[in-house]
């Protein structure tokens, strides 16, 4: 069953990657905002569901944050809360992934020294700061540190807290900047 689940998941990621490669405009802020606006009153619920599930296909959260802020310029705190919930669900999903597919055991067998090194660093006193600093840096994928934390068996609450705190400043900037832009575009 797990083999088929992995095959289905990788197939979905490959299809999504191909679609986005062939149609990069689908991830543009304006396209995402227009997509959400088509749903009327249910748009925010759909936005929340997209935020909560986008990490299944390893899609970065930044375009969705801006799209939500542009589509809902009067609700910046709701967009920020939905975005933070999306980052939390995504980080926990990616954190859990090495164990779900048995990848942690395969990687341990193939790279025992490297895994031991990573595990020691991510279980040490500085692991929380590494995860928080990584999440705070906008040019690197937060999903990667969550994956490494899961591989290293860093406590999930510790990892999730670090990612949430590290992600918050830039997410807030993205939301409030996008809300201003959305207000200008809609007026």
Contacts of 149 (CB under 8 A, 6+ apart): 95, 122, 127, 131, 159
Q: What is the token pair recorded at 64?
A: 């969705």
pTM of model > 0.85 = no
Q: Look at residue 119 and give its three-state secondary structure.
A: helix
CA atoms of 150 and 93, how far apart (whole Å): 10
What are the boundaries of each domain within the chain? 28-56+64-186
Structure tokens of 163? 């990612």
For 108, the enclosing helix (H) or strand (E) is helix 103-110
pLDDT for the residue 27: 64
Angle at 161 between CA 168 and CA 2, to 5 degrees: 110
Given this model, what pLDDT does residue 166 score?
A: 94
CA 24 vs CA 18, 19, 20, 63, 136: distances in Å: 10, 8, 5, 12, 26
pLDDT tens, the chain, 187 aa long: 555 555 665 676 677 777 777 877 766 767 766 776 777 778 888 889 888 888 777 677 887 888 788 878 888 999 999 999 998 998 888 888 766 666 667 667 777 787 777 777 777 778 889 889 888 887 777 877 888 888 888 889 999 999 999 999 988 998 888 888 766 765 5
């Amino acid at each position: 069953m797990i083999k088929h689940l992995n095959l289905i998941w990788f197939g979905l990621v490959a299809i999504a990657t191909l679609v986005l490669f062939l149609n990069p405009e689908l991830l543009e802020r304006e396209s995402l905002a227009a997509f959400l606006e088509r749903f009327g009153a249910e748009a925010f619920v759909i936005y929340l569901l997209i935020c909560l599930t986008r990490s299944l296909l390893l899609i970065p959260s930044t375009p969705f944050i801006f799209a939500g802020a542009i589509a809902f310029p009067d609700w910046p705190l709701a967009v920020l809360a939905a975005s933070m919930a999306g980052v939390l669900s995504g980080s926990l999903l990616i954190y859990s992934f090495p164990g779900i597919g048995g990848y942690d055991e395969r990687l341990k067998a193939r790279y025992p020294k490297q895994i031991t090194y990573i595990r020691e660093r991510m279980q040490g006193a500085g692991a929380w700061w590494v995860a928080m600093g990584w999440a705070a840096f906008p040019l690197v994928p937060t999903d990667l540190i969550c994956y490494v934390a899961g591989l290293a068996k860093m406590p999930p609450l510790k990892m999730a807290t670090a990612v949430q705190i590290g992600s918050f400043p830039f997410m807030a900037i993205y939301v409030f900047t996008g809300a201003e832009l959305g207000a200008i575009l809609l007026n």
